[in-house]
Amino acid sequence: MWTVIYIAQTAKIAERIKTKLTEEGFLVKVSAINLTKTQFEILVPEGEVLEVQEVLGTILHR
């Protein structure tokens, strides 16, 4: 099962996060929340949530 770990405000931010997490070896999906595509969910497998949250914290604070 996939779990939302972050909601990005732009496609550029979503892709940046996806790229960084993928480089760290995580499976990542990005999904537009609505038809206007103004927000994007970052999803990871449920079993990786805790590990991803640690890495995500460093990504967001750079």
- Burial class for 46, CB neighbours closer than 10 Å (0-12, 13-18, 19+): exposed
**Cα separation values, 60 from 1, 21, 34, 35, 36, Å:** 24, 11, 23, 26, 24
Element (H, E) at 44: strand 40-45
pTM recorded for the entire structure:
0.88
8-58 tens-digit pLDDT: 999 999 999 999 999 999 999 999 997 777 899 999 999 999 999 999 999
Q: Which CATH fold would you assign to the domain 2-60?
A: Alpha-Beta Plaits (3.30.70)
